[in-house]
Amino acid sequence: MKIRSVTHNNRRKTFEVRTSSKKLVFPFSKADPTPTIQDPITALSVDVEAGREAFTYGLHSGRTGTVHIEQILEYNQDPSYLRDLLLYRLTLEAQKRVAESPLSKREIVRRLGTSAAQLYRLLDQTNYRKSVDQVLALLQVLNCEVDLVIRTKTA
Amino acid sequence: MHVYRDGKLIVKWDVENQKPMKGAVTSRILALISELEAEGLL
């Protein structure tokens, strides 16, 4: 996700980031170094070197900081970012379980009713085009119980 | 950790699990990451 523009609001103490589809905020308090009244922002721009996926700011003291779009998405609890993170964690767990499993890869493929290529696709942690559903099916085949815990977010 | 070259993401590296999360890591990037870790910067 690319950042189109970034501004700061000293009254609200937030950075305001605009992407192609969203307007997101990021509080000063989450940024390091933290802008303050004594050390205010003097420069702010989208970071071109980071493929417009981050912004850089400078403070009156001369210190600089960079905030990546993923920090902003995480703070704003972006559903598709959180989905990718969940998928990554499940995939790492599946990789670990496959390595520890007494089942051969061929047997896992047979039980999943799929192809070897599909199994390797499911075990590729950089592939986010698979579904959570498919990884859950793999974990089931690996004799794992997956408990879903749904809880209300705390403030 | 995100590694860019000429404004393009090369790899998103999971420091904790030592695995790429996006893209692919080259041996040169791995060596640079190891250097940063040795210097305590990661």
Neighbour count for residue A77 (Cβ, 10 Å)? 9
Minimal CA separation from B9 to chain A, in Å: 7
Cβ <8 Å between B23 and A88: no
Q: What is the pLDDT of residues B3-30, one digit of tens each?
A: 999 999 999 999 999 999 999 999 999 9
User: What single letter denotes the amino acid at residue A6?
Assistant: V
ipTM field? 0.88
What is the rounded CA–CA span in Å between residue A110 and residue A120? Answer: 14
Q: How far is CA A125 from CA A105, A110, A115, in A?
A: 17, 22, 18
Q: Enter the pTM of the model.
A: 0.86
How are beta strands B8-14 and B2-5 bridged, if at all? antiparallel
Q: What is the pLDDT of residue A155?
A: 63
Q: Which of residues 89-128 of A touch B (CB under 8 A)?
A: 92, 125-126, 128
Is there a contact between A27 and A13 (Cβ–Cβ < 8 Å)?
yes
- Contact status of B37 with chain A (Cβ, < 8 Å): no
Nearest residue of B to residue A68, measured between CA atoms: B2
Mean of pLDDT values over A14-26: 95
Minimal CA separation from B25 to chain A, in Å: 11
DSSP string, chain A: --EEEEEEETTTTEEEEEESS-EEEEEGGGSSSPP-SSS-EEEEEE-TTTTTSEEEEEETTS-EEEEEHHHHHHHTT-HHHHHHHHHHHHHHHHHHHHHH-SS-HHHHHHHHTS-HHHHHHHT-TT--SS-HHHHHHHHHHTT--------PPP-
- DSSP H/E element including B7: none
What is the rounded CA–CA span in Å between residue A10 and residue A40? Answer: 9
Best residue in A125, A127, A128 for a mutation probing chain B (most B CBs within 10 Å)? A125
**Residues of B with CB below 8 A from A68's CB?**
2
Q: What is the pLDDT of residues A95-153, one digit of tens each?
A: 999 999 999 999 999 999 999 999 999 999 999 999 999 999 999 999 998 888 888 87
Could you give the percent of chain A with pLDDT greater than 90? 91
- Contact status of B5 with chain A (Cβ, < 8 Å): no
Measure the CA dihedral A51/B27/A96/A142, to 10°: 80
